[in-house]
Amino acid sequence: MTGLYFHIPFCARKCPYCDFYSVSYSRETAEAYVGAILRNIRAYAVSDTVDSVYFGGGTPSLLSAAHIGKIIELCAARYHFSEDAEITLEYNPTGNRADYLRELRAAGVNRLSVGTQSFSDEELRMLGRTHSAAQGMAAVRAAADAGFSNISCDLMLALPGQTKEILRGSIRCLSELPVTHVSAYLLQIEEGTPFSQNAALLSRLPDDDGAAELYLHAVSALDAAGFRQYEVSSFARSGMRSRHNLKYWQCEPYLGIGAGAHSCFDGRRFCVPRDIAAFIEAPVQPEKLIDAQPCMQEERMMLALRTTDGIPENALSASARKQLPMLCKAGYVRQGSGRIFLTPEGFAVSNAVIAALIS
């Protein structure tokens, strides 16, 4: 099975913490960009069945539902879709867009990833988000009313000044909404972003121990609310894991189309330069090779250890197996049925634990 990823690099306003490739939206540029996407769909052959499509960004919901529908329609005509293909679009919860949500559903989108980030108005203002907590809740309810039964929400952790009480309040809101999946991730300060140059804000960031404590608190609270962890930053109600998300951790193939998109496809890992003009003008999107032999054994182990499925114990080297008693005693790893798994405490320091296991 193969996944498709479309990077839609338009934003009405760039968030001060974001390092993803994006440009200002204009109708004319969006029209040309969608035309280039359609041209690239025709250029790539996908022999496998496609079982997931993901529109990421940027802000994909700046595109019209007609544009999204054209892309889905051509994919379905060009490639073989599974009957239950998961088609996700990242949705910005600003404004009342009930008609747009119904149009998206009619166009074939069956899963929404809503960029709520927090349900604290103070945190949302600090993050530079253009929506309020009330608008975030209203967007989720409107999506459900429009027929979406698979709705994911983003939740940001370890924000400047974030407390367990604030975090609990956001998770309580999630638990009361028709949400099936939560992507809960730690704020990363990326070099060159406005956040990285804001000394006052940086001084309010939790230290590593504080960030780990907030992360573990979120894991526990989400579990109590019925969202089971299946990857370091991913939590889902029963049967609602993100199929597309799992492709990244299970080394399954995915083809990325769009300026700034990444792919692990046709035995290669490659990316498209972050240049919207070059993408629009090229007959076929330019590719920059990252790895001619992706997903070798060590990489597969590293990615699998990010999930709650873990890896077989016998996949470890003899020297790595000697580390297990110490890691288990520290509470970072557990063993069972011939497999090893990182615990939530292990996920909180996953880079160090994984390095110890696959070095």
Looking at the structure, do residues 231 and 335 belong to the same domain, yes or no? no
Q: What is the pLDDT of residue 70?
A: 98
Residue 166 lies in a domain: yes
Q: What is the pLDDT of residue 14?
A: 85
Whether 348 and 220 share a structural domain: no
At residue 298, the pLDDT reads 87
Clarify whether residues 216 and 329 are in a common domain.
Answer: no
Rg (CA), the chain: 21
Q: What span, in angstroms and rounded, lies between the C-alpha atoms of 338 and 188?
A: 35
Strands 288-291 and 311-312 turn out to be unpaired
Q: Are residues 34 and 181 in the same domain?
A: yes
Q: What per-residue confidence (pLDDT) applies to 264?
A: 95
174-201 residues labelled b (16+ CB within 10 A) or e (exposed): beebebbbbbbbbbeeeeebebeebeeb
Rounded to 10 degrees, the C-alpha dihedral 327/331/332/338 comes to 70
Our CA dihedral for 303, 309, 315, 320, rounded to 10 degrees, sits at 80
**pLDDT at residue 56, as a whole number:** 97
Residue 259 falls inside a structural domain = no
Comparing C-alpha atoms, which of 288, 289, 285, 274 is closest to residue 9? Answer: 274
CA angle 44, 50, 56 (to 5 degrees): 80
- Domain hosting residue 315, numbered range: 297-358
Residue 180 shares a structural domain with residue 307? no
Whether residue 289 is contained in a domain is answered as no
**Are 101 and 172 members of one domain?**
yes
Clarify whether residues 201 and 325 are in a common domain.
no
Contact 255, 242 (CB under 8 A): no
Residue 160: φ, ψ to 5°: -55, 125
260 within a domain of the structure (yes/no) = no
What is the pLDDT at residue 269? Answer: 94
Q: Where are the beta strands (DSSP E) in 9-122?
A: 10-11, 23-24, 50-57, 81-91, 111-117
**pLDDT, one tens digit for every residue, the chain (359 residues):** 999 999 999 998 888 898 888 899 999 999 999 999 999 999 999 999 999 999 999 999 999 999 999 999 999 999 999 999 999 999 999 877 899 999 999 999 999 999 999 999 999 999 999 999 999 999 999 999 999 999 999 999 999 999 999 999 999 999 999 999 999 999 998 888 999 899 988 899 999 999 999 999 999 999 999 999 999 999 999 999 999 999 999 999 999 999 999 999 999 999 999 999 999 999 999 999 998 888 888 889 999 999 999 999 999 999 888 989 999 999 999 999 999 999 999 999 999 999 999 87
At residue 320, the pLDDT reads: 87
Tell me: do 167 and 80 sit in the same domain: yes
**Cα separation of 226 and 165, whole Å?**
19
- Report the domain count for the chain: 2
Per-residue pLDDT, 13? 85
| CATH code for the domain of 25 | 3.20.20.70
**Cα four-point dihedral sign 55, 57, 62, 67:** negative
In a domain, 281, yes or no: no
Q: Are residues 325 and 228 in the same domain?
A: no
The whole-number pLDDT of residue 217 equals: 97
